[in-house]
Amino acid sequence: MSNIVDLGYSQWLLQLKEEYRISQIKASIRVNEQLIRFYYHVGEEISKRGYESTYGSGFYSRLSADLRKTLPDARGFSVTNLRYMRLFYERYSPLLSNRQQPVNESGMENRQQPVNDFKNVNNEASLSGIFMIPWGHHQMLLRHCKSVEESLFYIREAVTNGWSRAVMTNFIKGGLYLRQGKAVTNFAGVLPEGTSDLAQQLTKDPYDFSFLTLDQEYKEKNLKDALIDNIESFLLELGSGFAFLGREVRLEVGEKEKFIDMLFYNLKLRCYVVVEVKIEELDSENLGQIGLYVSEVDRQLRKEGDNPTIGLLVVASKDALFAKYALNMMSVPIGIAEYKLTNLLPEELQSDLPSIEEIEEGIKR
């Protein structure tokens, strides 16, 4: 591979140089999108020209060296990055190449127009987002996602929620793709069709509370306190659009006082969301309690323009069949999901940990 005398190869290098320069001209306006499109184009060229099969694995080292020599002020042409470019093209090209658009401002064809036969929720938004997220996000997706459907799911969520690469990484490792929309609910039977679909997609099962550290003998109050103390992480896990309104929200029901664990408002659904967290297995008493709270929030707090209040019951464990049948008897919208904790400390170790006050005092000293 040390001596490539293929004239087509040399011309290709000059072509890539010119295309890169054209891409740089527009960099000040749409830096990320233009760069990602250029990487997609390079990946397409690598895949279609077949130099890898002709010259073997040394091809990438030679191409990397030649591009760095031809474009000394450019970054991103490492051997690893060039391999990612090919993988990037090959992952998405079946979806993007069936429908072409006119040549765009960079001089390259614009291929992000979605095809219609790919069955995925919000498919169009997912495909258009391919060129909107940073390259580091794409590298993470190419490393960890096993299918194009999974990649598009995370692309859509990253664009919608403005995820950093670190946040995306945590959700990928936490298996969000497999958990999203999986709670057992009765939404389809008690909410309008469009609202029920969106509400279902905002649920998860299980909810990942691994951002908490509790001892193995934790009580329900410990779990609720920890969730409130880590409210930003909790909101991130709940999903986009959730606004925290309060804990132990008081309701008057007849002559009795009732207190909701946590009350949220979801800006996407335009509705109140009652969240109850239980450290035991699901039972009918839990369902009756949250059903009452949902009804009362609807009666006492819901205003004109608000959609019906939704209840979310998060429990340590559940019998899915029991949950399904029990929800069929409920007239208000409720979702049931489990939670998982991974950072559990032995009780004796937890008691030996310094308190916040002790840490602050140590820092002062």
364 located within any domain: no
Residue pLDDT, tens place only, 92-114: 999 987 644 433 444 444 444 43
In a domain, 356, yes or no: no
**Per-residue model confidence (pLDDT) at position 74:** 85
Residues 250 and 321 grouped into a single domain = yes
Are 168 and 186 contained in the same domain?
no
Give residue for tokens 């080292």: 61
What is the CATH number for 199?
A: 3.40.1350.10
Does 305 fall in a domain?
Answer: yes
Predicted confidence at residue 194, as pLDDT, reads 86
Is residue 250, in this structure, part of any structural domain at all? yes
Domain count, the chain: 3
C-alpha to C-alpha distances, 176 to 111, 173, 181, 211, 307, nearest whole angstrom: 28, 8, 9, 15, 26
* Within a domain: 188: yes
Report the 10 Å Cβ neighbour count for 164.
12
**106 and 204 share a domain?**
no
The CA radius of gyration of the chain, in Å to the nearest whole number, is: 26
| 33 shares its domain with 77 | yes
Residue 365 lies in a domain: no
Which of 113, 133, 152 delimits the end of a domain?
113
Residue-number span of the structural domain to which 147 is assigned: 122-178
Q: What is the pLDDT of residues 55-90, one digit of tens each?
A: 887 899 999 999 999 999 888 999 999 999 999 999
308 is a domain residue: yes
204 lies in the same domain as 280: yes
Q: Determine phi and psi for 105, rounding to 5 degrees.
A: -65, -25
Residue ranges, the chain, pLDDT below 70: 1-8, 11, 22-31, 98-125, 344-365
Residue 360, in any domain of the structure: no
Residues 213 and 188 in one domain: yes
User: In sequence order, which residues have a C-beta less than 8 Å from that of residue 255 and are 6 or more positions away?
Assistant: none
CA–CA distance, 205 with 194 (Å, rounded to integer): 21
